[in-house]
Amino acid sequence: MSVTRRELFSRLRSGGLLDEAPLNGLALAARGHEEDSALSFWGQAGGRGRGAGAASQAAAPSIKLSSNENPMGPGRAVLNAITGRFGETMRYPFNVSPGDAQLIETIAAQHKAKPENVALGAGSQEILKVAVWGYTSPARHLVTATPTFENATGTARRMGHPVVEVKVDGQFRLDLEGMLANARGAGLIFVNNPNNPTATVHSGAAIRDFVERVRRISPDSVILIDEAYHEYVTDPAYETAIPIALNTPNVFVARTFSKAYGMAGMRIGYAIGMKDTVRPLARLALPFNISVLGTIAALTALNDPKHMAAERDRNTQARDFTQKALDALGCRSTVSHTNFLFTNVGRSAAAFRTACAAQGIQVGRDFPPFEGSHARISIGTMEEMQKAVAVFRDVLAPANVGGGERA
């Protein structure tokens, strides 16, 4: 039986394998860096028909606000660093210096840890997946939230391992009490802080309390705290759980370079925690899972903290602008500490998405159980958000509300 490309993507998505599939193949990354030397290099290569420049000229213009990517791409220092290293990509990562061992050392040093505390992943999704492989079983369930990032849920389901999903609370925050009530005997407990797609965050104190209480009732359960949006958080009560993970058995944190670092296409993430918790993840990961260029990119980015602070400010400004504009339309968003908004658009996410797509704005997919009322809108550049807001005004105008679609 033949399967069309669209059907294949749809199956992968429903299985949780893809958060957002790039159906139209648009290469929209690295906007705002057109003048950088690295990109002009590729502009020349594109002249031979394969570069990003060629792809974006051919594609219809559209603004992608559906995958929580950083629209700016990597910082200038990263682009310059990787451009100089293409000549070494015939080597395996361990034959290049600095290589993956130095990346592990740098990550460990920045968190006052040892290399044995860090495992690299091809994106943090590799980490999430191998954590489900390693720590759940037919007898040991996964505890997770709904809605939340679905990689762990999908992986456990495909393996036939039991999953307990706990609905977020009335403020769209993870229901930590509900997750605790289901923790006994769990193999893995997935805590996404801040949570995708609801954008909400828990304080450092709340996470510490949760970990302590899980440890009392179910000390063998492993707690995975996914901090994919850590760099974007502006809540002063928030703290990373890495110090907890480094001092508590069966707890680890997952981080990624795909969000604020602007390198989703590079595929770099990591797990950090106590040696006995993290080693099984490293053993299950693919060999040489971080490319030579990915290693250089991550190392350079970690040594450029000013760029990260500027990126957080840029995102906060564009997010505030968008949230206020949506508020003025009567569409409330949850309190976001990420690079996306989860907004009550007063109609189905599908109706909103289709209407926005017709005007060149791509917003997020359905997030049950809120697909009848809420849409996830990733934050692009300020210019992109100004264009998107003009479309939202049009789409959300009362005259455009389709029959029976208002929640």
Ligand X SMILES: Cc1ncc(COP(=O)(O)O)c(C=O)c1O
Residues found near ligand X in the complex (CB under 6 A): 19, 68, 123-125, 149, 192, 196, 226, 228, 256, 258, 264, 269
- Taking the least distance from each CB to ligand X, the nearer of 123 and 273 is 123
Which of 118, 122, 140, 138 has the alpha carbon at shortest distance from 130? Answer: 122
Assess contact for 141 and 132: CB atoms under 8 A.
no
Instruction: Kindly state the smallest distance separating residue 384's Cβ from ligand X, in Å.
Output: 18
Give the whole-angstrom CA distance, residue 245 versus residue 264.
25
Give the whole-angstrom CA distance, residue 297 versus residue 163.
36
What is the SS3 assignment for 134?
A: helix
Instruction: Kindly state the smallest distance separating residue 208's Cβ from ligand X, in Å.
Output: 20
- Taking the least distance from each CB to ligand X, the nearer of 196 and 240 is 196
68: left (phi over 0), alpha (psi -120 to 50) or beta: left
Q: Which residue is closest to ligand X by CB? A: 123
- Taking the least distance from each CB to ligand X, the nearer of 149 and 210 is 149
- Taking the least distance from each CB to ligand X, the nearer of 256 and 277 is 256
Instruction: Kindly state the smallest distance separating residue 257's Cβ from ligand X, in Å.
Output: 7
Instruction: Kindly state the smallest distance separating residue 330's Cβ from ligand X, in Å.
Output: 28
- Token couple for 277: 């918790």
Assess contact for 405 and 349: CB atoms under 8 A.
no
Instruction: Kindly state the smallest distance separating residue 338's Cβ from ligand X, in Å.
Output: 8
Instruction: Kindly state the smallest distance separating residue 123's Cβ from ligand X, in Å.
Output: 3
- Taking the least distance from each CB to ligand X, the nearer of 226 and 304 is 226
Instruction: Kindly state the smallest distance separating residue 72's Cβ from ligand X, in Å.
Output: 16
Give the whole-angstrom CA distance, residue 340 versus residue 297.
24
Sign of CA dihedral 223, 229, 235, 239: positive
Assess contact for 170 and 202: CB atoms under 8 A.
no
Instruction: Kindly state the smallest distance separating residue 164's Cβ from ligand X, in Å.
Output: 19
Give the whole-angstrom CA distance, residue 407 versus residue 343.
13
- The residues with which 333 forms a beta bridge, in sequence order, are 343
Which residues, other chains included, contact 355 with Cβ-Cβ below 8 Å and sequence gap of 6+?
395, 400
- Taking the least distance from each CB to ligand X, the nearer of 226 and 231 is 226
Nearest 5°: the CA angle 364, 200, 233 is 100
- Count the Cβ atoms, other than its own, within 10 Å of residue 102: 15
Tell me the residue type at 324: K
- Taking the least distance from each CB to ligand X, the nearer of 43 and 265 is 265
- Taking the least distance from each CB to ligand X, the nearer of 245 and 391 is 245
